Amino acid sequence: MRYRQAPYSPDGEIAAMLDALRGEVLQGAGGARRPDARGSGAGRDELTLVLNGDIFDLDAPRVIENESVVHDLPRDAAHAVPAMEAILRDHPVFVAALGRVVADGHTVVFVAGNHDIQLTLPEVREVVKRRVVDAALDELAARDSAAPAGAAGALREALAARVVFRAWFHRTRDGVIVEHGNQYDSYCSYRYPMAPFGKNPGEIQPTMGSLVSRLLVSRMGYFNPHVDSSYMLTGFGYLAHWARYYLLSGRSLVLAFAVGALRTMVELVRRREPWRRALRRADRIAAARETGAPLDAVARHARLFARPAEDCLGRVARELWLDRLGLVLLGVLATLVCLWWMPAGLAPAALLAPTLLVAYECTVPKPPLDAVWQGVNRAARRVARAHGAKAVVFGHTHNPEGSWEGGVFFGNTGSWSAAFEDIECTRPVFEARPLVWLRSEDGAADDAPLDGGLVMWKDARFQPWRADARPPVPGKAETTAKRPRPAALRPQATAALRS
C-alpha cells in the first residue's frame, strides 16, 4: 500500500496548481492587486473552485500506529467527524492551499462523491469549513499583521460564506452543472442523494461500491482502489494475480474474497430500504433549495438516476462472482447425485459442473466496467437537457474527457489520486494532472458566453490537454479541448492517506 504514503500524495501538486491558478486569475483582472475577503472587489475576476467528489476517501482503511487497519464502521457523524479531522490534520499543505484561495476572495465548493458522501452531514461540513476558514485567516494574518482584532468575527463569517457544500450537484450562475456522477452508476448510487440515509436515523446507507471498497478491495493486498485495472480482472486475471503474489507465500485471497463478497450481499439485502414517494419529493425540494435550480429541472434530473444496487441483486451476484460460485456448487451437487444413482457414469458426471459454468459464461456475459462508465457519460447529455445547461462536468470514472457538442461542453476531469501501474509506484497512470477550466465574461448573466475546457497541469504550468497525456482507452475517441480559460475548476484528488 505504498500509494497511501506521504511521498505519493498529490498535495504538493494541488497546492502548486492552485497558487498558479490564483496568479492566472489575478492577471485576468488586469494585474491589479486583488482585494481580500474584506473588500468588495467590484469589477474583479471571480473564481469558483469546485472539488467534485471523492476528495476525501472515508472508505479507506484507518491508519493506527502507522498500520493500515481495515474497517466497516457505521457511516454516521460519530465516526465520520474524527476521520475527517484526521484527514485534514494529515494534509496541511492541501488545507493551506484552499485557505489561500478563500483568502483571495474566491469561493470553494465541495460536492459530495460516493467515497465522501459523509459531506452531506452537517457535523462533517462544519469540520471542513472550520479548518479551511482557519487556514484563510492564517493567510490573511500573514499578509497584514496590523489587521484590527475587533473585525475577526465578521471576517470569519465572510470567509465561511465562501466555503460551500453540495450534497448532489452544483449549479453556477452562468449555466455550468458540476456533479460527481455516481448517481448514474448502480453500484454507487443513492436513492435520496440529499439525505442518503438507511433504516437507522443519521446513518448513511452503504452502496455496493462502498461495501466492496471496505470489505474486499482494501483487504486484498496488492490491489490499488485508485486503479480500476488492478482489481477489475477476468477469471484468468485473478488466477494470474494469485500465482504472482500468493502462490509461494503461504497466504491466500480465497477466504478474504469469499467472506467479503458474501458480507456485501448480506448487507445490501439486510439494509435494503424501498423508495418512498414523500422522501423522493422532499429530496428534490432540498436539492432545489440548496442549488437554486428550478424544481422541475431537478425532478427531470432525478429521473435519470440508476437504480441502486440493492434493487439489482442479480447484477451484484454477477459482479461478485457469487452466481458462478452458486453454479459450481449446484454442479457439484448434481454430480454427487448422478454418481449416487449411476456409479458407472463417473466421466460424464465429472464434466457436469464445468460444462454448466462454461455455458453460463457464454450465454450471460458480464458487463465490462467500461460499459458502466459510458453509461455515466451518456447521462451527462441528458442532464444538460434537463437544466438547459451550457456545460456539464462529471468525475467518478477517473477518465479525463472534454468536448464541445452543439455549443455545450461535456467534461470529465479524471483523478489526481495516487494511481500507478506498478506496486513500486514508479509508473503513474497519468503523466499529467487533468482539470476542467471554464470561463464566462459575465458570470452573473444567464446569456454569458462560455468557453474553455479540459486542460492539464504539467511541468508546473497549465497546458491544453493532449491525447498522449494518458494511455489510450480502447473504443474511445480522443478529444482535445480548445481555448483553455477559467471559471469552474475541479481537480478530483483523493486526499486521504489517513482517515
SS3 282: helix
Instruction: For strands 62-64 and 67-69, give the pairing.
Output: antiparallel
Asked whether residue 333 falls in the same domain as residue 224, the answer is yes
To the nearest whole number, what is the mean pLDDT of the chain?
A: 82
Number of domains present in the structure of the chain? 2
Asked whether residue 44 falls in the same domain as residue 119, the answer is yes
Residue 454 near residue 16, CB atoms below 8 Å: no
Percent of the chain predicted with pLDDT > 70: 81
Domain of residue 227 covers 208-270+314-363
The length of the chain, given as a count of residues: 499
Say what the alpha-carbon torsion angle 378, 383, 389, 394 is, to the nearest 10 degrees.
Answer: -60
Q: What are phi and psi of 410, to 5 degrees?
A: -125, 125
Question: Which residue, 305, 334, 363, sits at the end of a domain?
Answer: 363
Q: State the cell numbers at 167.
A: 450534497
Nearest to 6 by CA among 499, 491, 497: 497
pLDDT in tens, 73-128: 999 999 999 999 999 999 999 999 999 999 999 999 999 999 999 999 999 999 99
DSSP letter assigned to residue 355: H
Asked whether residue 392 falls in the same domain as residue 426, the answer is yes
Asked whether residue 357 falls in the same domain as residue 392, the answer is no
| Mean pLDDT for the stretch of residues 304-317 | 90
Q: Which residues contact 124 (CB under 8 A, 6 or more apart)?
A: 77, 80, 81, 84, 118
Asked whether residue 225 falls in the same domain as residue 87, the answer is no
**Given this model, what pLDDT does residue 36 score?**
47
Question: Which residue, 325, 340, 363, sits at the end of a domain?
Answer: 363
pLDDT in tens, 319-339: 888 887 877 777 777 777 776
pTM for the whole thing?
A: 0.85
DSSP letter assigned to residue 428: B
Distance set, CA 104 to CA 35, 39, 187, 379, 491 (Å): 7, 10, 39, 35, 19
pLDDT: which is higher, 4 or 295: 295
Asked whether residue 349 falls in the same domain as residue 400, the answer is no
Distance set, CA 117 to CA 129, 160, 188, 208, 327 (Å): 16, 21, 10, 13, 36
CA dist., res. 338 & res. 360, Å (int): 20
308 falls within a domain: no
